[in-house]
Amino acid sequence: MIKRQQSDNIPIIKEEALSKIRIAHSTVELEEIYSFYLGRKGILRNFLITIGQFPAAKRPDYARNIHEAIKAIDMAARDKRGQLLLVEIKNKRSSFDITMPGIAVKRGHLHPLTLVERKIEHIFNSMGFGIIEGPEIEDAWHNFDALNIPPDHPARELWDTFWIKSKISGRAGKAPKSKLLLRTHTSPMQIRYMETHQPPFKIIVPGKAYRFEATDASHEFQFNQIEGLMVGEDVSVANFKFVVQAFFEHFFGKEINIRLRASYFPFTEPSFEVDIRCLFCSGRGCSICARSGWLEMGGAGMVHREVFKAVKYDVSRVQGFAFGFGLERLAMMKYKIPDVRLFNSGDIQLSQQF
């Protein structure tokens, strides 16, 4: 049996519902109130189900009360819903402010080595040099023999080589000319280019090279070189000095002093190391230049006549210079990057700085 106070409760429940609806702040809150009273399992719906259990005499009044309450709550909710929707639409509109600064889309960055390589190519290109690329898997002929490094030559030991397993047998030192390897420098492209071109010409060869050695802050087993080669009838060391000085001044954007030191490479004669006056201390001596005031930038020299003979050039007619600079070293100097291993670390924080 339904308790007596339930019918008395209806006006109270109605007032309670109406006041809650009046102060609802959002359509979401309103829908919660609505379903609490008039939802499928709402309080007043539940009362409707129980009408049959009410004393027959009181039943019509009871039913009328419930229906009136439902009607009043439903009407109030409908009005309130309209008001809240208007406010919400208005708020949504005002939140779309076209004068607000947008959220910046993160863009990709070029790797510092890519930036440096492009800059170098641009500088040499502007001086009339062609840009050539070549295979990273080489044969012993192009990497060693043709560059005046025959199998028995002790200089072959200077390059710790990744040899590639193939059916052609032979120990590293005694390898046949066709044995494959990962090129230890970009110099084999000197041979490949001269085999198919006649002087005069001037080219640079950017590319990867590989040496079988331990890595540390200044050595990687995979690195990038910029090879240079200029051949003609009267190309001299003076031409080299001018070209390389012009390059460094463009590259570093300041006046550069060059020093050539006597050195040895099998494929050049004479050979020299190229130093530049320290960029960081202007020659006074600092930790970066090991107090010497000079920075080693790479090797160079006049192309050895044995190299010209290997590509069947007339050695009485042509001469030229060649050089090889490390791309990583140039990038480290330009951007003051302390460790060569950072380039291959995949650390996005490095490239984001450029």
Q: Which is nearer to Zn ion, 289 or 331 (CB)?
A: 289
Check the CA dihedral 310-311-316-322 and report its sign. Answer: negative
Minimum distance, C-beta of residue 205 to Zn ion, in the bound complex (Å): 30
Q: Which is nearer to Zn ion, 99 or 287 (CB)?
A: 287
Task: Tell the burial category of 52 from Cβ atoms under 10 Å away from its Cβ (0-12, 13-18, 19+).
Answer: exposed
Pattern 280-319, Zn ion, x by CB under 5 A: xx----x--x------------------------------
Q: Which is nearer to Zn ion, 245 or 292 (CB)?
A: 292
Type of residue numbered 95: S
E-strand spans in the chain?
Answer: 130-131, 137-139, 180-182, 201-210, 222-232, 258-265, 268-277, 294-303, 319-326
List of residues 6+ apart from 54 with CB closer than 8 A: 2, 7, 62
Site for Zn ion in 103-122 (CB under 5 A): none
Helix, strand and coil in the chain, % to nearest 5: 45, 20, 35
Q: Which is nearer to Zn ion, 242 or 280 (CB)?
A: 280
Contact 303, 321 (CB under 8 A): yes
Q: Is 222 helix (H, G, I), strand (E, B) or coil?
A: strand
Query: Does the footprint of Zn ion cover residue 72 (CB under 5 A)?
Result: no
Minimum distance, C-beta of residue 282 to Zn ion, in the bound complex (Å): 8
Minimum distance, C-beta of residue 336 to Zn ion, in the bound complex (Å): 12
Interface with Zn ion (CB under 5 A), residue total 5
269 is in an annotated binding site: yes
Query: How far is 116 from 25, CA to CA, in rounded Å?
Result: 60
Query: How far is 243 from 215, CA to CA, in rounded Å?
Result: 32
Q: Which is nearer to Zn ion, 172 or 281 (CB)?
A: 281
Site for Zn ion in 249-278 (CB under 5 A): 278
The 10 Å CB-count burial string (b at 16+, else e) for 270-283 is ebbbbbbbbbeeee
Angle (CA) 284-288-291 rounded to 5° is 40
Minimum distance, C-beta of residue 249 to Zn ion, in the bound complex (Å): 18
Minimum distance, C-beta of residue 295 to Zn ion, in the bound complex (Å): 7
Minimum distance, C-beta of residue 291 to Zn ion, in the bound complex (Å): 8
In sequence order, the β-bridge partners of residue 232 are 319
Binding residues for Mg(2+): 269
What does the binding site for Zn ion look like in residue numbers (CB under 5 A)? 278, 280-281, 286, 289
